[in-house]
Amino acid sequence: MTYKMFQKILKTILLFVGLFFAGYYIGVRGIIFDVSIKKPYSFAVKNQLAYSTKVDFSKFWQVWDASIANQNKATVDKLYYNAMVGMVGSLGDPYTAFLPPHVNKTIGDDLNGKYQGIGAELGMDNGQLMVVAPIDGSPAKAAGLKSGDKLLKIDGVTTAGITVSEAAGKIRGDAGTVVVLTAKTGDDPERDIKITRGVISVASVKWQDKGNGVAYIRISSFGAKTNVEWDKAVSDITMQMSELNTVVVDVRGNPGGYLQSAVHIIEEFYNGKPALWEEDAAGKQTPLMANRYGSFMKVPTVYVLIDQGSASASEIVAGALRAEVHAKLIGVKSFGKGTVQDAQDFKDGSGIHITIAKWLTPDKIWVHKVGLTPDVVVEITPEDVKNGVDPQLNKVLEFANPK
């Protein structure tokens, strides 16, 4: 081999080594090259990462290896998922969560309208597990669990430090089995509530003709079937009611669900205006427009019934109808959840919900931790519940049918 040939080979090797390390550096720094070979030709270099992502995971793997030594597969799986639960939970947002497979399935079943459990939406209030709302016709509601109840224990074990996802996993179970919840309502003494789990299958939309041109529509959740059930209810109302002067939308005890279902319902009443605004982390506000032409756009009077269990998508509907069609809100102050989550599912059945934005009413009010204050406040007392009286709905019917 001649000296010149050796130099040429060495230069080639050094060139490839240099390109390799340059590519590695560019990759870990989040830099990409954007090249267009079509006219007009262009070349751009972009850095996708706003900050360094270099993390030394050696300590993590040391702890992992020490933790799984001599453990069985079930324990290792538990450690694996709990590591991700803890990581995401450390962000401090109760609505951002990693969901192990069994929890993610439970939540998916909720939105599909059929699952096994007690039938109650859970939330957090200043770190305390609480009931947002028991679902209509559920074992939870039959057993006396109420919106706003603090849940202090699950089967005798304290809920201090628990996440909503963990609590849901502990409370859910096969139909026919029993769970005991220690609950506290306001300043009342705590009480143990024994609930037999059941198969929860509830239509999310029901309606009634209340006479004198008043259509009452109850929405218990915003799930996978809500749009279809809503459209069926609207079709039935327009076909069966010869006179339609008032529409009453009842979202009491409705913990929310799919944002697009809320928009679909709003579009029944108006279009060409925002159903809500989304605000990202940078403060940029983007309208989600109501575009569909609905059947209730010419209805003269609209009322919305709300309570402390009305959250998220329920508040989107109530806030939009008050802002754009001057609907009157009747009841008590709503829950106050004003954030939007993006849901991603993984191949093993687990998932992650990440808060990606705030939502604002069409008049740009953020209800988070504040709630919507009704135009007419009407309380429901324990005596009303005992006697089967609904003073909130009665007040609406009084307004709709003045003597």
Per DSSP, the residues of 188-221 read: SPPEEEEEE-EEEE--SEEEEE-STTEEEEEE--
How confident is the prediction for the chain on average, in pLDDT?
86
**Residues near 60 by Cβ (< 8 Å), separated by ≥ 6?**
none
pLDDT at residue 282 greater than cutoff 70: yes
pLDDT digits 0-9 by tens, 5-16: 666 666 666 666
Q: Quick one: pLDDT at residue 33?
A: 42
366's tokens: 């953020």
pLDDT at residue 46 greater than cutoff 60: no
Q: What is the mean pLDDT of residues 321-348?
A: 95
The residues that are catalytic are 312, 337, 341
pLDDT digits 0-9 by tens, 228-274: 999 999 999 999 999 999 999 999 989 899 999 999 999 999 999 99
pLDDT at residue 353 greater than cutoff 70: yes
Taking the CA atoms of 265, 345, 164 and 92 in sequence, report the sign of the dihedral they define.
Answer: negative
pLDDT digits 0-9 by tens, 48-105: 445 556 788 899 999 999 999 989 988 999 999 999 999 999 998 988 999 999 888 8
Provide, rounded to the nearest whole percent, the portion of the chain with pLDDT above 90: 61
* pTM score of the predicted model: 0.71
Q: Quick one: pLDDT at residue 35?
A: 40
Domains in the chain: ranges and CATH: 3-47 (no CATH), 55-90 (no CATH), 114-200 (2.30.42.10), 202-400 (3.90.226.10)
Most confident of 31-45, 58-72, 117-131, 285-299: 285-299
